[in-house]
Amino acid sequence: MKALSILMLTILFAAQQALACPFCYGAKDGKSTEHMAVAIWFLFGAVLSVICGIGAFSFHLWRQGRMPQEPYQQLTEEDLSKYE
């Protein structure tokens, strides 16, 4: 019985080591770790560029909303308060 439990523990620990990847052990010199770091920075840049684009478009809309209207646009606006 004791030999069986030792055999089972040995197989269990060997299986855990076989299934582990370099990221689990923190292999800092591995090529896959370097590639993962590049992928993370690329995705960070992609998300940041989308957020900056939304901010720039919002700033554009804010700036255009504060500009005075052209004279021909003022003529086309109608006073709708008499219809209420």
Hey, what's the torsion of the CAs at 51, 56, 57, 61, to 10 degrees? 140
Give the residue numbers spanning the domain of 52: 41-68
In a domain? residue 30: no
**Other beta carbons within 10 Å of 66:** 7
In a domain? residue 61: yes
In a domain? residue 21: no
Between residues 23 and 31, which one has the greater pLDDT? 31
What's the whole-number average pLDDT of the chain? Answer: 78
Domains identified in the chain, total number: 1
Looking at the predicted structure, is the pLDDT value of residue 21 above 70? Answer: no
Distance of alpha carbon 70 from alpha carbon 66, whole angstroms: 12
Q: What is the pTM of this model?
A: 0.50
Q: Tell me, what's the pLDDT at 43?
A: 95
In a domain? residue 82: no
In a domain? residue 14: no
In a domain? residue 56: yes
In a domain? residue 55: yes
